[in-house]
């Protein structure tokens, strides 16, 4: 039996559409073992306790790729701390965990790099998968069939606040509203902002994030799908957030604040309560380790 712990992730970070992602200290934990027969799901909601489960489908892709036929499987969701369809990488945790679980059952025959490549093939883009596997802030690009990635060192001095709506937003819907083409001006706008963002994180110039996290490729198209988006976004900025961005495809809004700012989170909660906006607020910090697996209950591999 093996346990797998996978962090939440936030993709895009404003201008880094489909290329930037970051991992946080919020986790889903799964447990896997090979059984004598059948497939047992436990810990999942009823609608996910079947062979359409993303974890199961991922495992079967991996098994089929390497011609492994398990006798039976036990797939258990031990802890679910990452809400579904909120832009925090819930589906990526399922893919990464499924791959690590499948590899364990096959006898640990694959490297992390090989598993990562399969994960990107399943997900279709690497922005969540890369930080989920490797932790930290990661930039990744597709070069034909290869995935090229590199960690961005983040200087101390900040923390993150996830403002999470009570409603879901499907990734397919959020992608469906995007334009087929973008104009040259918008492309230059994002290239300049994402370059500034990487330098700001690397050098600790967090005063620049108010410019660097702006986007012209996806947020303006997706934000109308999210009730109260502009109200919450603008309030976070007025309360002193260094910057805000739409987490992944949304609907979660991610705010970046100074590490020693202990008031803004309380003020955001008071504002939401006064406006009768039933959104959750979570303080998050960077996860630097990525997905980890444990044999039994305690021994980390």
- Confidence bin at 62 (pLDDT 50/70/90): very high
Q: Average pLDDT for residues 255-284, to the nearest whole number?
A: 96
Q: What is the pLDDT of residue 297?
A: 53
| Cβ pair 120, 246 in contact under 8 A | no
Asked whether residue 90 is marked as a ligand-binding residue, the answer is yes
226 appears as a binding residue in the annotation: no
Question: Annotation-wise, does 91 bind a ligand?
Answer: yes
Please provide the average confidence, as pLDDT, over all residues in the chain: 95
Which whole number is the average pLDDT over 129-146? 94
Q: Is 87 annotated as a binding residue?
A: yes
Which of helix, strand or coil describes residue 106? helix
Give the pLDDT of residue 296: 64
93 annotated binding-site participant:
yes
Q: What is the pLDDT of residue 18?
A: 93
Where residue 171 falls among pLDDT bands split at 50, 70, 90? confident
pTM for the model: 0.94
Q: Is 148 annotated as a binding residue?
A: no
Segment (H or E) for 25? strand 20-35
Q: Is 176 annotated as a binding residue?
A: no
What six digits make up the tokens of 219?
């947020």
Cα–Cα distance for residue pair 270/264, rounded to 1 Å:
10
Q: Which domains does the chain have, with CATH numbers?
A: 2-152+287-300 (3.30.230.10), 158-284 (3.30.70.890)
238 is in an annotated binding site: no
Q: Where residue 301 falls among pLDDT bands split at 50, 70, 90?
A: very low
135 assigned ligand-binding residue: no
Compute the distance between CA of residue 294 and CA of residue 278 in angstroms, rounded to an integer: 36
Is 2 annotated in some ligand binding site? no
> According to the annotation, is 293 in a ligand binding site?
no
- Contact (Cβ atoms closer than 8 angstroms) between residue 246 and residue 12: yes
Inform me whether the pLDDT recorded for 145 exceeds 90. no
Asked whether 232 and 269 are in contact (CB, 8 A), the reply is no
Residue 79 sits at φ, ψ, to 5 deg, of -140, 130
Of the chain, the percentage scoring pLDDT greater than 90 comes to 94
């Amino acid at each position: 039996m093996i346990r797998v712990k996978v962090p939440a992730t936030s993709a895009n970070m404003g201008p880094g559409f489909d290329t930037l992602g970051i991992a946080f200290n919020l986790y889903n934990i799964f447990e896997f073992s090979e059984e004598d027969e059948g497939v047992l799901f436990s810990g999942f909601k009823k609608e996910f306790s079947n062979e359409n489960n993303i974890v199961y489908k991922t495992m079967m892709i991996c098994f089929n790729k390497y011609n492994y036929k398990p006798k039976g499987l036990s797939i258990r969701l031990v802890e679910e701390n990452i809400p579904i369809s909120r832009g925090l990488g819930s589906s990526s945790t399922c893919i990464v965990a499924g791959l690590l679980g499948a590899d364990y059952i096959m006898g640990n025959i694959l490297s992390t790099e090989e598993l990562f490549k399969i994960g990107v093939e399943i997900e279709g883009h690497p922005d969540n998968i890369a930080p989920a596997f490797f932790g930290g802030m990661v930039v990744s690009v597709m070069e034909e069939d290869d995935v090229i990635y590199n960690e961005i060192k983040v200087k101390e001095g900040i923390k993150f606040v996830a403002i999470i709506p009570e409603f879901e937003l499907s990734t397919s819907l959020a992608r469906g509203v995007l334009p087929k083409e973008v104009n040259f001006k918008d492309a230059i706008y994002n290239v300049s902002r994402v370059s500034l963002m990487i330098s700001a994180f690397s050098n600790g110039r967090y005063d620049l994030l108010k410019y660097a996290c702006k986007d012209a490729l996806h947020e303006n198209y997706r934000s109308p799908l999210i009730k109260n988006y502009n109200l919450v976004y603008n309030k976070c900025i007025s309360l002193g957030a260094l910057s805000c961005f739409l987490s992944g495809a949304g609907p979660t809004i991610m705010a970046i604040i100074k590490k020693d700012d202990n008031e803004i989170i309380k003020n955001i909660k008071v504002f939401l309560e006064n406006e009768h906006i039933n959104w959750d607020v979570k303080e998050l910090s960077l996860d630097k380790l990525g997905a980890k697996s444990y044999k039994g209950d305690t021994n980390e591999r």
